[in-house]
């Protein structure tokens, strides 16, 4: 993320809303800040840059492959 293009801000959320966002962030594996940015961007109809979307897809595929390799290795070592 290019910090030169970011603007620091502060928001106050009701505790119940914060807890829901915090849980969503945990499920998505990101920070609360990232989850809030994603929610705001989605609600404003902003689309993810095509290159960034492709990068996420490649990362996800590599991550899945890594997990499969680890699972296979653990299964072999268990026997």
Query: What local confidence, expressed as pLDDT, does residue 58 receive?
Result: 74
Percent of the chain's residues with pLDDT above 70: 77
Query: What is Dmax (Cα atoms) for the chain?
Result: 54
Position 21 scores a pLDDT of: 93
Residues 13 and 21: beta-carbon distance below 8 Å: yes
What is the average pLDDT value for the chain, to the nearest integer?
A: 80
Q: Is residue 53 very low, low, confident or very high in pLDDT (cuts 50, 70, 90)? A: low
Q: Are 30 and 45 in contact (CB under 8 A)?
A: no
pLDDT of residue 13: 92
Per-residue pLDDT, 79: 73
């Amino acid at each position: 993320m290019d910090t030169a293009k970011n603007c620091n801000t502060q928001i106050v959320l009701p505790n119940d809303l914060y807890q829901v966002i915090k849980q969503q962030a945990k499920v998505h594996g990101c920070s609360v800040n990232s989850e809030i940015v994603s929610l705001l961007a989605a609600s404003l109809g902003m689309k993810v840059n095509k290159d960034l979307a492709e990068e996420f897809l490649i990362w996800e595929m590599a991550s899945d492959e890594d997990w499969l390799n680890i699972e296979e290795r653990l299964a072999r070592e268990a026997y």
